[in-house]
Amino acid sequence: MDTLQALEQRITELEIKASFTEDTVESLNQVVVRQQAQIDRLIRELVDLRAQAVAAEPAGFRSLRDELPPHY
């Protein structure tokens, strides 16, 4: 009978460990999903900033002699 009880105790302990492992995996999955959403948002912001930087660049070469001084 001791062998049967020992096996039942081992099975119970394994079930408990499996349950904790499932909870941990689910928590990590939620973190990964949140981080991926954040990465996607940051990539969109980076693309927008690059587009703004390209739009802000002057169209062609301009000489400083063509620029009016600030006091005019």
The string of pLDDT tens digits covering residues 14-70 is: 999 999 999 999 999 999 999 999 999 999 999 999 999 888 876 666 676 667 767
- Round to whole Å and give the CA distance between 2 and 8: 10
In a domain, 69, yes or no: no
In a domain, 72, yes or no: no
Amino acid letter, residue 18: A
pLDDT given at position 57: 75
Number of domains in the chain: 1
Decide which of 72 and 64 is more confident.
Answer: 64
pLDDT given at position 54: 85
Expressed as residue numbers, the domain containing 34 is 18-49
Q: Is pLDDT of 72 > 60?
A: no
In a domain, 63, yes or no: no
| Structure tokens, 41 | 């948002």
In a domain, 1, yes or no: no
Q: Tell me the mean pLDDT in the region 2-24.
A: 97
